[in-house]
Amino acid sequence: MYRDKLTEWMKEVKIFHRNPGKVEPSRTALLIIDMENYFASPDGNSYLSDTKFILPSIKKLLHYFREKKLPVIYTAHQHIDPKIDGGLLSTWWGSFIEEGTYHAKIYEELTPLPEERIIKKRRYNAFYQTELELVLRGMDIKNLVITGVMTNLCCETTAREAFQRDFMVFFIADGNCTANDEMHISSLKNLAFGFAHVLTAEDMLKLIKNYDKKNN
């Protein structure tokens, strides 16, 4: 059923499709946004059931990036004290992810390697008051592959901000999820129209591998 939905989503997004051209692997990073126990574990406080569908796609990308020694960066949304670092976000939702707790940890199926950086963030936007851009510029990254949760909140906000900072964004349709399909497809269409190349994990890997074939 999920694969059928994905096919329909890609048909809807196709009318906004732009040719991504070449994607140089050495200047491409995988960003895994907020795949913490809070959202990805069945016993998480805000478990998103569709994370079980996007995990295989994220793991497939993760495996390839690690195999080719390409950059992998995680974000983890968490707060020390919402009265101090939560702003409107914690007021809006009435709850928060406390730093250092089980819920703030990256879901075990995606456990970062020791050398993979975890960016702690306090807002939807992974660039806001974090070291993310410095890290990416330091690695000479030009292309950002975005996966994680939630499609229409942290993932979309980060994708838009990345575009504004002149990173080419590749947004993985089957590597992001949110509370329902309507919000998911709306974000995919908005991003495809003005901010990102929206494609499946499989097509993203083909794009990267095609560059390797032509340049090696």
pLDDT digits (tens, 9 = 90+) for 15-69: 998 889 889 999 999 999 999 999 999 999 999 999 999 999 999 999 999 999 9
Quick check: 151 pLDDT over 70?
yes
- Class of CATH domain 2-15+24-215: alpha beta
Quick check: 92 pLDDT over 70?
yes
Phi, psi of 8 (to 5 degrees): -65, -40
CA distance 42 to 75: 20
Q: How high is the pLDDT of residue 3? A: 93
Q: Over the range 61-73, which residues count as b (16 or more CB within 10 Å of their CB) and which as e?
A: bbebbeeeebbbb
